[in-house]
Chains A and B, each alone.
Chain A
Amino acid sequence: LAKTTQPISMDSYEGQEVNITCSHNNIATNDYITWYQQFPSQGPRFIIQGYKTKVTNEVASLFIPADRKSSTLSLPRVSLSDTAVYYCLGVTTSGTYKYIFGTGTRLKVLA
């Protein structure tokens, strides 16, 4: 499974775009890059997943370059309610479908 590395914490202001980068140098061909969001006292919630290039949904965009050694989660115009921990994980689709969460990035949105 791909080991991922993310910044421990980030601060941003309301209305700004936030980009959180994740490094995954040993990502395997079968791995999908997936991001989860976790609010205090709740379980994580799926945000977005991708394999390569760019994926966009109603919540975020995910950019994965051609070499797939990193990825960037982009949150447009954040609000106070986006304050949460964001996890990047590589999920293998061959074999056992294990999900390994790291420590995540703690995003704090300021007014």
Chain B
Amino acid sequence: NAGVTQTPKFRILKIGQSMTLQCAQDMNHNYMYWYRQDPGMGLKLIYYSVGAGITDKGEVPNGYNVSRSTTEDFPLRLELAAPSQTSVYFCASNPIGVSASSYNEQFFGPGTRLTVL
């Protein structure tokens, strides 16, 4: 298994440009997440999805959009890039078991380093 993969690894955008950060997982996980991490800070949840066709906002969703048409893919869209979106973006997934009393660890991708100038 490749696990969680993210593309691109690095990207520089100009203010106002748009782009899509790709995330894919081959573990058949139900739940997928997008986080951003600013320098020296913790991770902040942007959006998450509990399955194909279902997404919900996290802590910092403004300026981003997501879709989940398949179990494997969870792209993150930036429509009008702003300098405040300069950050490292991590995608993660985890399997949610049938039993609500169990916990499943998150598996993270390698991240996408985005700079908006």
Contact = CB atoms under 8 A, between A and B. Distances in A.
Interface string A71-101: 0000000000000000100010110111111
Question: Looking at chain A's contact residues, is the secondary structure mostly helix, strand, loop, or mixed?
Answer: loop
A18 B88 CA distance: 29
A46 B102 CA distance: 15
B109 A43 contact: yes
B61 interface: no
Interface of A: 30, 32, 34, 36, 41-46, 49, 87, 91, 93-94, 96-104
Contacts of B44: 101
Of B42, B102, B108, most buried by chain A (CB within 10 Å of CB) is B42
B108 A87 contact: no
20 contacts: A30-B100, A34-B103, A43-B90, A43-B92, A44-B90, A44-B106, A46-B106, A49-B103, A91-B103, A93-B100, A93-B103, A96-B48, A96-B56, A97-B50, A98-B48, A100-B59, A101-B42, A101-B43, A101-B45, A104-B42
Contacts of A93: 100-103
B98 interface: no
Of the four ranges (under 10, 10 to 19, 20 to 34, 35 or more), the interface on chain B belongs to: 20 to 34
Given A43-B111, A45-B108, A100-B59, A32 B42 contact: no
Contacts of A97: 31, 50, 94, 96
B58 interface: yes
Of A30, A34, A97, A104, most buried by chain B (CB within 10 Å of CB) is A97
A70 to B, nearest CB: 19
B108 A44 contact: yes
Given A96-B56, A101-B44, A103-B42, 6 more contacts: A44-B106, A45-B108, A46-B106, A94-B100, A97-B94, A99-B33
Top 4 closest A-B pairs, CB basis? A43-B108, A46-B105, A101-B43, A103-B42
